[in-house]
Chains A and B, each alone.
Chain A
């Protein structure tokens, strides 16, 4: 709890710093102008969605292997947070697209595959509400593994099918075109978003564990009443 409180304070401070860096320190991009500043939260949100889905993938495998409820709790916690970040990507992307390319939506490979990813994890969350017994965990674990297949597809879609809107690589260690001040603003934002993901994961995991305890007691009480 103490670590969580400390983490919350650090994230709040970093959030303020990040906003200041994005809007007053980072220079304006010459071609796109002000709308380019969406980049500083659009890309970190996408990175965290991928990270969250990767955690769901790993913990789903671990659940099917060891049948531990803790692994299942981590899987659902991470999937829900990933879904929130993926929603941010799908909201901020069209705002950027409208301002820069004068269109809200384009059925280009990355946008389409990201929408499919969002729908897959929406399905994952809905699936968990459809059952109350162990089938919920088993089916969700299988879907958690299968849905992750789409993550590399989203990442490589631009390379495989080409795109006029998205670059192949956003950040490359060897690439020097990005202004150093832009780099600082970007990495501070990326770090803040990642810390926020860890904080949310800890919180959501605890909610799931308490929820499971309540569910167990309710089921035991029902069984006793039936006997």
Chain B
């Protein structure tokens, strides 16, 4: 029984891990976007 509870929790953790990965990727891209915009403004 413990084996299957473990497998079930593992699946949910996998999905949670993927969600956290997406959140981090979004934050990183957002920072890059803001940096690039600031850089363009500075050069203009």
Interface residues of A (CB under 8 A from B): 15, 19, 22-23, 34-35, 37-38, 40-41, 45, 84, 88, 91-92, 95, 196, 199-200, 203-204, 206-207, 210-211, 213-214, 217-218, 221
Contacts and interface: CB of A to CB of B under 8 A. Distances in A.
B8 A217 contact: no
Interface of B: 1, 4-5, 7-9, 11-12, 14-15, 18-19, 22-23, 25-26, 29-30, 32-33, 36-37, 40
Given A19-B12, A200-B18, A214-B33, 18 more contacts: A23-B4, A34-B1, A35-B4, A37-B4, A38-B4, A38-B7, A38-B8, A84-B14, A199-B19, A200-B22, A203-B19, A203-B26, A207-B25, A207-B26, A211-B29, A213-B33, A214-B29, A221-B40
A221 B25 CA distance: 22
B15 A84 contact: yes
B33 A203 contact: no
Chain A contact surface mostly: helix
